[in-house]
Each structure stands twice: as structure tokens, then as C-alpha cells.
Amino acid sequence: MGQTVTMQDVARDVGVSAMTVSNVLNNRTSVGPDVRRRVLASIERLGYRVNVAARNLRSGRTGIIGLAVPEVDRPYTSQLTARIITAAQPFGLRVIVEQTGATREDELDAVAQSRLRVYDGLILAAVRVSASDIDRLRVSGPIVMLGERNAGHGIDHIGTPNVDGARAVTEHLVSLGRTRIALVGACPRWDTEPDTEYEAGRLRVQGYRAALESAGVPFRPELVIERSIWDIQSGVEAANDLFNAGTPFDAVFGLTDSLAFGVLRGLADLGLHVPDDVAVAGFDNVREAQFSIPRLTTVAPDHVQIATRAVQLLVDRIEGRRDGSGAVDLTADWTLEVRESTVGSATPSSVARRATRLAPRPLPSTAS
């Protein structure tokens, strides 16, 4: 085995100081482009490898941040993850992604890893972890929480416009003459117990009910469909449950786009047309919402803002620029993206016609 190449070897090869090589490796801007190219070429030619463990020991940094999300195979979380990775790159940070499965145990484990300084900081999309949980772990490293579980205790938090967004999309459906608006995705026992586990769901139901009340539209509990998993399959099943119950409905608000996509599929299988028979809307504005058939009307939080602000807040804490300052608690900007799944090519008269009662029909036969 040949002798290990050192930083000094690279410096001698290029004819610069070891500090210049270090500046190139740490992506500092004090090095000119020509010198940077020569140093990088020498590193490649000589086969120099950075001793990451030694560098981290000297700096007290790993150059890594953690991102803990409930699941990585859902459109919203996968796209948010990609945006956070992109936002971290200009700071020279790598992102390790953990899937918590929305369990309290795995969320706490991600926080514990941050406490042990495996990461320089952690972005946590929390579903179950509470403020008291974070406090008991005595976390000293920077944490930014996403979602509805605002930890308090000096921890920065970025929330989603759940109440306002749900209210806006419901008001939109009412404005089209829809008066029997089903909601898909309420937590189990939503009408008897507070939603302590899925806070986003509780808040979106709250916005939905507020819009109905404000418009003088009766709230019908039978049109609220429970689902503890917010995925496409759950949306398909919810559409079938609504139809088989025989309760007329002329619109569906899915608490996520994934649920709404499933509803679109389920209604199509039942022979119902969107939006002619049933208008459908979602929440999240994942990329696929622009390409579904029909294109999905949805609440659109500013995902880029969420990712960039989360990383910037974390970096500020890591760099010590906000030591001792109060926690930031903000709600992301948002818009309502109105697309074909609610308006189609509607005229006022056609909208009124479509708001009539739907007569239940039998499920299509699957027999050959």
C-alpha cells in the first residue's frame, strides 16, 4: 500500500500553502478560480482524501444535518425532502433523511441523535412528539420543527396554513353552488375526541366547518369520512364508502392531494365525472396535481419558502448567529390553485345544474 497523500503534498504539488488547499476544500471564496482548479486537479491526480473524522473533531461540526419525516414514499414528503436537500447545498451541508413512520418512538430517536451531535442540527416534521418530550431530552443542538407540533421552548417552527387553507378551498366549492361537500381524511373519532395525534387533520376539519357555517351550509357529519392513513388507496376506498352510503354529495375535499387523487380514481371507477357530477379538491399542491386528469384544485403552501427558511433558521443556530434569541414561529405563505377538478369549463348555468342531488348508483360489476 502506498504512502498516504497529505494536504501538504497537494500544497507542494501546486506551489501554494496548505492553508490555500484547506480554503479550497472548505469552499471558501478567498481562493481565485485558477488556483482552485489547480488544487482540485492535484487532489484528483494524487488521490488525496480528506480525513473527515479529524476535521470534524477539530471543528466540532459534521457538515451534516438530519431531516426526519413521517414517510418518504408520499409525494408531499418526498418533494419537501428534495427541496430541503437543495436548500442545504449552498451552505455545504449534507442531509441524512430518517423515516419515522409518524411514531413517537422514532421521532424521539431522531431528536436523540441530534442531542448526541450526530448531526449539526435537525429538521423534524413531527406528528407525535410534543413540547414536553423535546424538553425532557434536554436537547442542546439546533432543531427546526415543521408542521403543527410547535414545540416552543426556544425551538424554531414553521407551520402550514391548515385552517385558512381548508376554509378557502371549502368556500371555493360553496361558491360553485356545491352544498353537500364531503370531507375525506378526518382522524378516527374526530367527533368525540380531540385529534391529538394528527393535528393537521384537526385544523383542516376546523377550517372546513368554519366555511360551511359562514356560508349557512348545513354541516353533515355523515359526509365526513375518517382515514388514519392519507394515501391514494385510502382516497379510493373513501370514494366507494361515500357512494355506497347512499348520502348525496356534490363535492369532495381531500385533506391531502394524495387522498384527492384516490378520490378521483374511485369516482372514475364508479362512472362519475369530475367536476360535472362531483367537484374534487385537495391540499398540498404536489407536482402531480398539475398533471392529474382532471388537474387538481388544491391549497398550495409555499414549499420552497418552507424548505429555505427551515435550512436558514437551522444554519443561523449552528453558526451561533441567533444564540439566546427567541424562537421563530411562522406560517408558510399559500395560495389556492383553482384547476379543472372544480371548475372545468363551467358556465354559471352549468355550475347550478351540477349542484343537484346525485342519485346513488350500484358499484360497477367486476365480473368478466
Q: What are 252's strand-pairing partners?
A: 182, 280
From CA 305, how far away is CA 80, in angstroms rounded? 10
Tell me which of 54-58, 95-99, 143-147, 339-343 is least confident.
54-58
Question: What CATH number is associated with residue 40?
Answer: 1.10.260.40
* Number of domains the chain is built from: 3
Question: What CATH number is associated with residue 173?
Answer: 3.40.50.2300
In a domain, 17, yes or no: yes
* Same domain? 169 vs 285: yes
Q: So what's the pLDDT on residue 200?
A: 83
Give the residue with greater pLDDT, 279 vs 6. Answer: 279
In a domain, 72, yes or no: yes
- Convert the pLDDT of each residue in 227-275 to its tens digit: 888 899 999 999 999 999 999 999 999 999 999 999 999 999 999 999 9
Backbone angles phi, psi at 256, to 5 degrees: -140, 165
**E strand or H helix at 143:** strand 143-146
* Same domain? 203 vs 347: yes
In a domain, 240, yes or no: yes
Domain region containing 39: 7-50
The grid coordinates listed for 83 are: 427541496
Q: Flag whether the pTM goes above 0.95.
A: no
Pick from 145-154, 194-203, 324-333, 357-366 the range whose average pLDDT is largest: 324-333
Determine how β-strand 251-254 pairs with β-strand 279-283.
Answer: parallel
* Same domain? 184 vs 253: yes
Start-to-end C-alpha separation, the chain: 69
* Same domain? 294 vs 168: yes
Q: So what's the pLDDT on residue 198?
A: 66
Among candidates 244, 41, 262, 92, which has minimal Cα distance to 252? 262
Handedness of CA 330, 335, 336, 337 (dihedral sign): negative
Q: So what's the pLDDT on residue 363?
A: 39
Q: So what's the pLDDT on residue 237?
A: 97
**E strand or H helix at 105:** helix 104-115
From CA 327, how far away is CA 312, in angstroms rounded? 13
From CA 156, how far away is CA 317, in angstroms rounded? 10
In a domain, 315, yes or no: yes
* Same domain? 155 vs 166: no
Backbone angles phi, psi at 257, to 5 degrees: -65, -35
The grid coordinates listed for 180 are: 353537500
In a domain, 360, yes or no: no
Q: So what's the pLDDT on residue 361?
A: 38
In a domain, 2, yes or no: no
* Same domain? 77 vs 186: no
* Same domain? 32 vs 100: no
Tell me which of 12-26, 193-207, 289-303 is least confident.
193-207
* Same domain? 29 vs 151: no
Q: So what's the pLDDT on residue 188?
A: 72
Average pLDDT over residues 51-61: 53
* Same domain? 171 vs 281: yes
* Same domain? 17 vs 130: no
* Same domain? 118 vs 87: yes
HSE of 337, CA atoms in CB hemisphere, 13 A: 18
The grid coordinates listed for 50 are: 480528506
